[in-house]
Structure 1
Amino acid sequence: MNKLLLLSILFIILSCKKTAEVKNDENILVNKNYFSVSENDRKIHRHSNYEVVDTVEMPEAIYSDKRLNEDYALGGIHFLIENNEKSYYVINYLEPFVSMCGTMDRMTKQDSINSVNRNIKIIQKAKLISTSTIEKILYENREKIVNINSRMPLQISFALKDDILKGQTMYNIIQFMEDSKMYIYTIRRMNKDEISFTKMNLVKR
């Protein structure tokens, strides 16, 4: 249980450092006409004013642990975006993990393997949806995501099949999340198991 808690806290910390706040068209980090995962990562790393969520201070051991495989990290709600028409989503959890005070062990190699294997199983439960319904799903779960009462908002994660998604899809999603105070989210490329999952579902159809 402590290991799972450690993985979850580490993921939240990493995402807090990567979260970009959409303020206005002059300051925006996300292009309105397309979205590039690699370009977005570069912009965020260059940006000096990160929006860091006010959370309980975490043990130093978590910050220096490099064993978490970020390619397989999942938020409370995880979206696989294949293109502007077709996506998948899975609810991983809707209750925030509460951090406990005290010393926590560093993640081991086996912890990382266990986390990847667990998340592969979760990905395989993803449901096919229209990409245009992502904002609706986020809205329906807004109370859980924002979680004002406990001040422990949920992490939302997105995985894109390709580095570049043309059009305003990601711009609109991010704008909606920022306007709805859903500030903790990550966007990455699909890992090989997520790509395999989408291919298998294409064959089934």
Structure 2
Amino acid sequence: MTGMTWSLSLLKPREPELLDALFLSVGRALHLANAYEDKCQYLLRVGNLITAHQTDPAMTFEEAVASVPANKLLGGTLHSLAAHAMGQTMDMDTLHKARRARNWIAHEGASIGAIWCVDRDLILQHAVKLRAAVTDLALGDNIISQWCHGLAEPHDLPPTDWINRYSDAVDTWVFGHLRGLLPEPASSLSSSE
């Protein structure tokens, strides 16, 4: 197998600054992807605790916590979440699209080939794919975050302005340093699956 040696090379990258900008975006996207998965698991644990308490109101808190199943992978978490009453009101299609985006970010987000030979066009094409994944992730994360906010602050109104601006805020945070080089964000990875 030729060309498959060390991940770094003595050769200098053709576009070091652009690569750094892409990898900054990938790192920020990965942070959001991990947070999305954590919040989904949190909501499922809360839902399972509620179900355990409703099933046996005499159960102690410790017994209820012990009865909650262990963490699952994100796909299983979303399927279990959909079975709960709170999941019935969620846009599961958007959440599964966000799951696929999360998986793409985690497994392919930084996969651009040998960094010493990748050119500007390839880096920007990859950034466009990353941006589509981040757009889908942000839409799902916004839904899950609203539920988490409702649990954390049950007496507060949802922050409607933030909810409405969330996807744009995510795009600015992840891609603000690349905005002049990228076309407007487009959803979705589903056309490439």
The structure where strand makes up a greater share of residues is 1
Q: Could you say which structure has the higher helix fraction?
A: 2
Tell me the TM-score normalised to structure 2 length: 0.27
**TM-score w.r.t. structure 1 length?**
0.26
